[in-house]
Chains A and B, each alone.
Chain A
Amino acid sequence: MSAQLQFRDVTLGYDRHPAVHHLSGEVATGALLAVVGPNGAGKSTLFRGVVGILKPLAGSILTGGVAARNIAYLPQSADIDRSFPISVFDFVGTGLWRQTGFFGGVGKEARASVAQALAAVGLSGFENRGIGTLSGGQMQRMLFARVLLQDARLIVLDEPFNAIDTKTSADLMALVERWHAEKRTVLAALHDMDLVRAHFPETLLLARGKVAWGATAEVLTSENLAEARRMCEAFDDSAAACVVDTDASKAA
């Protein structure tokens, strides 16, 4: 299977401090990969790099020919303007932008898809609600519905089950597994280890750098988890320039 994503010694961060440090590896097409790690491990940062919002400080991320429009991203804390006067239906409907284009109307078929997507995430009846009236979990599910409609080849979910109860989590996880069955590549950042062990065949344990990457059972061992916990969360203000980089450039 060809690689959907390639991390080539990539370092991502803010203000020269690395949040993801020298990560290398591949994500196969159609993989269902969980990305886990302590707080500040760099999961969100990594995802931002994958979808192209954040440029790497060093190294590169290759998306194996997947165009930007084929990537769907569910961000953790959405920069969404809740006070904007738009209904849940219209908001979710923007996920269909590739079919409707920017100027086309939303036809009957499209309306049906939107309704279906809303039903799949348990938000039937919310069509006409303004997005500002939604709770955190409902917001999350609405974004999920949009991802459903985007019909993307690569789906990146940043803590998608955060504010959601167990029953709904199970429903949404079923959707994720359906994507996996449809041979889409799915990356999900998660905190719930039980969920990961139960549903995700592959896991990357990230603690700024790669701690372990491979089959879930082999990755989520107590030694690995302990090592990950030892990672220091804060940036070191007195850090020097990364030695590995300068050596590499000297070698080149």
Chain B
Amino acid sequence: MASRVVITGLGVVSPIGIGVSEFWKSALTGRSGITAIPSLGWFPMSGYRSQVAGQVHNFAPEQYLSAMQANRVDRYAQFSLVAAKEALTDANLSMAKEAPHRVGVIVGAGMGGMVMGEREITQLFETQRPHRVHPNFIPTITLNSASGIVAMAHGAKGPNLTISTACSSSAHALGQALHCIRTGQADVVIAVGADASITPLVFAGFCSLRALSSEFNNAPEQASRPFDRRRDGFVMGEGAAALIVESWAHAKKRKARVYAELAGYAATSEAYHMVIPQEDGQEICTTMKIGLKSAGIGPDQVDYINAHATSTTIGDAVETKAIRLLFKNRADKIAVNATKSLVGHTLGAAGAIGAVATTLAIHTGQIHPTANYEEPDPDCRLDGIRRAVQERKVRYALLNAFGFGSNNATVVFKKFVA
């Protein structure tokens, strides 16, 4: 029997709130955090097809971080630091009492330090003055800057990894944290997901890919509408979330409060297409099935799915198809929601933010609404999707995350019973 792994701390930086309590309070209202973006800093957005995003407003790094820490890393890593700090505090985990090499950090990030990246590249090409490229450019854009700085902030000397599988990055971070503890490499893993790349170039790239919503520029709060008939693409978001993942034995010893148990994980590749999921839903179905198997349960035991559901036309329909394939006539009995309806698609942070929502659903028995689910699309019809809070005892829950590069992940959560 594999060792049990539990979640004991949570932290969030999101477009609907910095800090778990603000995030969750807002999530339960079902209010969207998507707003208009007339400009990105000084950079005008009028030429962009999509002009809405889920930004983290009023984020003042100095409020949470020392000037030295804040200056050394990009926005996504600042988010990581803030979320990790909150999660550690929430878990009541004092690093002074831990063996440093038994605490790991695994971060999922899709884009990394694009704020500085774009600024420095633009400046170099414009001025052709190579000696004016910032000395901190390389350490900042190196994709493991967040996992590095989080470890440094807390003296966590165990496994330190960064997983970059686009939009599924932090679901894998969580899954790998589970493996890391089950295989005895660590007692505790700070699992983080983070991205902050609502930047002129990245935003333009997603626009060119025709992946973003462009029909709701005048009604931003309606733009992210997973499963709804009028959805027309995802809305870019930014943020971070952190989960303290530890062995049950370790949590018990330090009398930690447990939110939920991490019960299983599946990692697959569709080996199919860079950006399009296999349309019959078979691959996603298989991913969920492997996840259930790794948790040692069957489809009849799942009460809730935190769907990947980005609000793209194909993506939501294929995920629905996969849920029907796997759960058959039980599909309509499962509560399903889309955290992206509230915060947009936070890319590398999406899995971790969804994981916080899933953990809290299990812990509190409340499943947050799916915003803008007004007119069910026949291609995505599932009775368990609601615009209101669903009160429900959840024993097992799934978190889905799918990334560019044909990458899929499912994480299985379980109600914790000692």
Whether both chains belong to one complex is answered with no
**B residues lining the A interface (CB < 8 Å):** none
Residues of A at the B interface (CB closer than 8 Å) are none
